[in-house]
């Protein structure tokens, strides 16, 4: 089966992007990373992608001002020019409009550093510590117009230790992010994920509970 053509959208350091690129180096992996796009011209991840031999593009949001639709049309043009089939958000710090999300219905993935539906939004690690939760983690999900709310494809949990700093907890979560994002993309690229009633089924079964 032909490998799915994937683009990764980033804004920053791109460690999840690197995890996806590494996974896709294996010719048996069902997806190929064709393109990395950043809205930040100086994103560290752009250099890491280029060093890995991946084509990069910058679609800077600033020249578009408040015109999100125009920014997204520019993004969409680049994605179409490269015949992209699946899009992975990996630390992409722009909210996407319902128009863009609809273009990529069930083909747009995101990774969020929390066990959704807990801790949607930013500063998840600080909020998890403040809430004294015992477990925290990461979620890969399909993107829907409502932020951090789409059907869950994969989750992994990590313990929260007494005395954890935000940085220590973030590092523990990041490690599982780098594992589950390639796993989730594999499942989607292999066509094993269906959405039924707003939830994902994998090979017809409910998504397993968060592994650790």
- Supply the residues annotated as catalytic: 112
Q: Residue 103 CB, nearest distance to ligand GRF (Å)? A: 21
Can you tell me which of 36, 111, 115, 200 binds ligand GRF, judged by CB under 6 A? 111
With respect to ligand GRF, which residue has the nearer C-beta, 79 or 116?
A: 116
With respect to ligand GRF, which residue has the nearer C-beta, 83 or 211?
A: 211
* CA–CA–CA angle 206, 25, 4 (5° rounding): 55
Q: If binding is defined by CB under 6 A, does position 144 make contact with ligand GRF?
A: no
Select from 31-39, 65-73, 97-105, 107-115 the region that touches ligand GRF (CB under 6 A). Answer: 107-115
123 Cβ contact list (under 8 Å, min separation 6): none
CB atoms within 10 A of CB 131: 11
By DSSP bridging, strand 86-89 and strand 108-112 are: parallel
Task: Kindly determine how many residues on this chain lie close enough to bind ligand GRF according to the rule CB under 6 A.
Answer: 15
Residue-by-residue DSSP string for 62-108 = GGGTT-HHHHHHHHHHHHHHTT--EEEESS--S---HHHHHHTTTTE
What is the x/- site pattern for ligand GRF, positions 147-176, by CB under 6 A? Answer: ---------------------------x--
Q: If binding is defined by CB under 6 A, does position 182 make contact with ligand GRF?
A: no
107 Cβ contact list (under 8 Å, min separation 6): 85, 86, 87, 188
Whether omega before 170 lies within 30 degrees of 0, making that bond cis, reads no
Q: If binding is defined by CB under 6 A, does position 87 make contact with ligand GRF?
A: no
**Residue ranges in contact with ligand GRF by CB under 6 A:** 10, 12-17, 45, 90-91, 111-113, 174, 177
């Amino acid at each position: 089966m032909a490998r799915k053509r994937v683009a990764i959208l980033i804004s920053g350091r791109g460690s999840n992007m690197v995890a996806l690129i590494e996974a896709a180096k294996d010719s048996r992996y069902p997806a190929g990373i064709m393109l990395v796009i950043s809205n930040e011209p100086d994103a560290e991840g752009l250099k890491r992608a280029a060093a890995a031999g991946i084509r990069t593009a910058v679609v800077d949001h600033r020249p578009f001002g408040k015109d999100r639709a125009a920014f997204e049309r520019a993004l969409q043009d680049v994605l179409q020019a490269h015949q992209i089939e699946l899009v992975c958000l990996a630390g992409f710090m722009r909210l996407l409009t319902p128009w863009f999300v609809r273009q990529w219905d069930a083909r747009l993935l995101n990774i969020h550093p929390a066990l959704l539906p807990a801790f949607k939004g930013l500063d998840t690690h600080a909020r998890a510590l403040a809430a004294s939760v015992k477990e925290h983690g990461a979620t890969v999900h399909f993107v829907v117009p409502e932020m951090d709310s789409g059907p869950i494809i994969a989750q992994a949990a990590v313990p929260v230790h007494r005395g954890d700093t935000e940085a220590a907890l973030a590092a523990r979560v990041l490690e599982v992010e780098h594992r589950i994002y390639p796993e989730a993309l594999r499942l989607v690229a292999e066509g094993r994920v269906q959405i039924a009633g707003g939830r994902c089924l994998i090979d017809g079964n409910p998504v397993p509970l968060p592994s650790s």
